[in-house]
Structure 1
Amino acid sequence: MTISVAVAGASGYAGGELLRLLEAHPELRVRTVTAHSNAGQRLVDVQPHLRSLAHLTLVETTAEQLSGHDVVFFALPHGASGALTAELRDVRLAVDCGADHRLTDPADWAAFYGGEFFDAWTYGVPELIVGAGRQRDALAQASRIAAPGCNASTVALSLAPGISAGVIAADDLVTVLAVGPSGAGKAAKTHLLGAELMGTANPYAVGGTHRHIPEIIQALRGAGASGDVSISFTPVLVPMSRGILATTTAKLAPGQTAATVRAAWEAAYADEPFVHLLPEGQFPRTADTLGANTCLIGLAVDEAAGRVVVIAALDNLVKGTAGAAIQSANLALGLPETLGLSQNGVAP
């Protein structure tokens, strides 16, 4: 039986990517698309690359428009979905791609977002190590899912195997991410103009202010981090429309070697369809993940510095957002986890 879907915030980048992926899904069918300022326009006039959805018209984003669908995906700005989700009726599964339901600690929400705090939903990173299991165990049969922050899931997937296996320490983590501006959304902002981005790399949210920091720490604690978890997180906007390349380092735990480090990541991701550890000496490029639901990871040990170096690449709009949302929805609906999602990127 076809599963009916509504996408709230269908005029933005995350909403458009959800729709592109949903069109390839054999079980999910988009019936309703909503927007704010673009309501009343044809979807194809706002998302001209989605030719197969030319029959859809954007409607106002209200609980009434969204209720009654089997699945509702939210691709709204942070703080916009929480109140709406509370008003949904007769919706089997809701998946929020914003931050409103990610954090479990109200103090973290107040410090990094502000405004009303909404209860945490099941976190949508199936491969993430949680205790002795994986987050996919919690996603099975879930009715409310919080898709991850793209930077947060990249870093969490980079570090969780080492934290869980005890081969790295969690008290001196450092990550620098090269990120595409699509992660900031579609709204017009001066610092995201082409003239401001071309030919330059621009750091932002420097000094521990990025909103994904508490989400990373929350995920690493779930993976087994004990004691202090400290991370220095520095994102840098670079002139590529989509993609994340995260270079993350951690202190090598006493008595660990390059062999035990690699064994930890191999054991964690050997059977994962979408998170792949590259062979020794190989490191990923963002270009190899574009359009795919894959996270590629390269691993090295800097013996002189006593640190493990993890380099991860993914498409922030696919594995970082929309792909993770659909992968998690598949699990919640009892469908094959990989349904409608591809490991293959687009090249060149």
Structure 2
Amino acid sequence: MITAAVAGASGYAGAEIVRLLLAHPDVEVGALTASGNAGVRLGELAPHLQPVADRVLEPTSVQTLAGHDVVFVALPHGHSATIAEQLPDDVTVIDCGADFRLDDEQDWTDYYDTPFAGTWPYGLPELVRADGGKHRDDLVGARRIAVPGCYPTAVSLALAPGLAAGVTEPEDVVVVAASGTSGAGRSSKPHLIGAEVMGAMSPYGVGGGHRHTPEIRRNLTRAAGRASTVSFTPTLAPMPRGILATTTSRAVAGVDAATVRAAWERAYADEPCVHLLPEGQWPHTGSVLGSNLVHIQVTLDEHSGRVIAIAAEDNLTKGTAGAAVQSMNLALGFPETSGLPMTGVAP
């Protein structure tokens, strides 16, 4: 039995981590911290977490977090590095922010306003690379792990098999993805209130402005083995959870539909958390709600010469907290899916 602390437990991602840890047979939930909500009983903010509802959120400090085997950091971008550098090397630190995802300092400074903190092993075990390996290999025994962004998880898993197999081109990749409002966090924002969101969709971060763009581009470049270019347009959908990512990429000349599908089948045949759906069945967010699953479908549009790959995920589970727990399992030698919900909730 190990102990795990969660920094930022009052936010959507932090609370989701707590939910998953409560179901993990090898984890005891330790300190739960917050910033503005320190001193508040957790049940006032997250009554669904009944086993720990009477816990009072502690201030987020190194002193509070130290002494645990694992520390999950679910704080706004730019806040993780200071905490991480003060925690002992033998503590497994899993960061759900962006601080350690990127490996190019220029990419960081182009999109963020804090100093570049470096790069940690990337917590997307299923992501295939050009050499045929997967990021899972980097997570075994790791003591510092960067959890992917929610959009990059869906987009990268949708596209990587074709790039790694050489059946799609890494240039001219186009992505349009819809996300639920929880992806923007729990802070009050006028454009996220019910009257603005219900019955409406809207784009944001258009023209390469979304912070997940360099992360997606980096992942696709690793899968292809050469530079990728991507046009990424995120949209806000009137739902609390979920991401549906529709991606298209140019098919390599002469590739047929059977060859395309075979690339995705090989990539995900043995993956417990990524499912290629039967032909003709398309992903939708309701099927993966509350689960650590990604549903994917792929087809070749012979008229345009483009491969269409669509992925659905729950942005709070597989898109954040589930990836964090899955990475912890790999780092510490637990069964990879331990504590992770492997079925969705419907309707």
TM-score bracket for the superposition, by shorter chain length? over 0.9
The structural deviation recorded for 1:92 is 2.3
Residue 159 of structure 1 aligns to a residue in which SS? helix
CA distance in 2, matches of 1:16, 1:331: 21
CA distance in 2, matches of 1:298, 1:113: 33
CA distance in 1, matches of 2:25, 2:231: 42
Contact 1:69 1:90 (8 Å CA) reproduced: no
The structural deviation recorded for 1:90 is 6.2
- Counting only pairs closer than 5 Å after superposition, residues 120-131 of structure 1 correspond to structure 2 as 120-130=119-129, 131=131
- Counting only pairs closer than 5 Å after superposition, residues 214-229 of structure 1 correspond to structure 2 as 214-226=214-226, 228-229=227-228
Is residue 330 from structure 1 mapped to residue 334 from structure 2 by the alignment?
A: no
The structural deviation recorded for 1:119 is 1.2
The structural deviation recorded for 1:244 is 0.2
Residue 33 of structure 2 aligns to a residue in which SS? strand
The structural deviation recorded for 1:89 is 2.8
Q: Tell me the residue number matched to 2:234.
A: 235
- Give the letter aligned to residue 102 of structure 2: L
The list of structure 1 runs, each at least 4 consecutive aligned residues, that deviate by more than 6 angstroms after superposition, is none
Q: Tell me the residue number matched to 1:192.
A: 192
Contact 1:170 1:225 (8 Å CA) reproduced: no
- Counting only pairs closer than 5 Å after superposition, residues 60-71 of structure 1 correspond to structure 2 as 60-71=59-70
Contact 1:281 1:300 (8 Å CA) reproduced: no
The structural deviation recorded for 1:55 is 3.5
- Counting only pairs closer than 5 Å after superposition, residues 119-268 of structure 1 correspond to structure 2 as 119-130=118-129, 131-226=131-226, 228-268=227-267
Residue 224 of structure 2 aligns to a residue in which SS? coil
Contact 1:32 1:56 (8 Å CA) reproduced: no
Give the aligned CA root-mean-square deviation in angstroms.
0.9
- Counting only pairs closer than 5 Å after superposition, residues 301-340 of structure 1 correspond to structure 2 as 301-340=300-339
- Give the letter aligned to residue 35 of structure 1: A
The structural deviation recorded for 1:343 is 1.6
Aligned length: 346
Contact 2:208 2:232 (8 Å CA) reproduced: yes
| 5+ residue gaps, structure 2 | none
The structural deviation recorded for 1:86 is 0.6
CA distance in 1, matches of 2:77, 2:87: 18
The structural deviation recorded for 1:28 is 1.1
Q: Tell me the residue number matched to 2:343.
A: 344
**Partner deviation per Cα, 1:213-263 (whole Å, 9 max, x = no partner):** 11111112222331x411110011010000000000000111211010000
**Partner deviation per Cα, 1:55-79 (whole Å, 9 max, x = no partner):** 4211111111111100000000011
Q: Tell me the residue number matched to 2:9.
A: 10
Residue 133 of structure 1 aligns to a residue in which SS? coil
Q: Tell me the residue number matched to 1:46.
A: 45
Residue 319 of structure 1 aligns to a residue in which SS? helix
How has the CA–CA distance of structure 1 residues 308 and 57 changed in structure 2, closer, same or farther, with 3 Å as cutoff? Answer: same
**Partner deviation per Cα, 1:299-325 (whole Å, 9 max, x = no partner):** 111100000001100000000000001
- Give the letter aligned to residue 155 of structure 2: V
The structural deviation recorded for 1:91 is 4.7
Contact 2:89 2:143 (8 Å CA) reproduced: no
Could you state the TM-score of these two structures normalised by the residue count of structure 2?
Answer: 0.98
Contact 1:69 1:91 (8 Å CA) reproduced: no
Q: Which stretch shows the higher mean deviation, 45-54 or 329-338?
A: 45-54
**Partner deviation per Cα, 1:311-345 (whole Å, 9 max, x = no partner):** 10000000000000100110000111010112200
CA distance in 2, matches of 1:305, 1:254: 12
CA distance in 1, matches of 2:13, 2:191: 19
Q: Tell me the residue number matched to 2:18.
A: 19
CA distance in 1, matches of 2:290, 2:266: 26
Contact 2:77 2:97 (8 Å CA) reproduced: yes
The structural deviation recorded for 1:88 is 1.0
CA distance in 2, matches of 1:261, 1:31: 46
Contact 2:170 2:224 (8 Å CA) reproduced: no
CA distance in 2, matches of 1:317, 1:114: 25
Q: Tell me the residue number matched to 1:28.
A: 27
**Partner deviation per Cα, 1:149-169 (whole Å, 9 max, x = no partner):** 000111110111000000000
CA distance in 2, matches of 1:195, 1:55: 33
Q: Tell me the residue number matched to 2:91.
A: 92
Q: Tell me the residue number matched to 1:79.
A: 78
**Partner deviation per Cα, 1:110-132 (whole Å, 9 max, x = no partner):** 00112111111110001011222
- Give the letter aligned to residue 165 of structure 2: A
CA distance in 2, matches of 1:88, 1:73: 12
CA distance in 1, matches of 2:311, 2:132: 23
Q: Tell me the residue number matched to 2:273.
A: 274
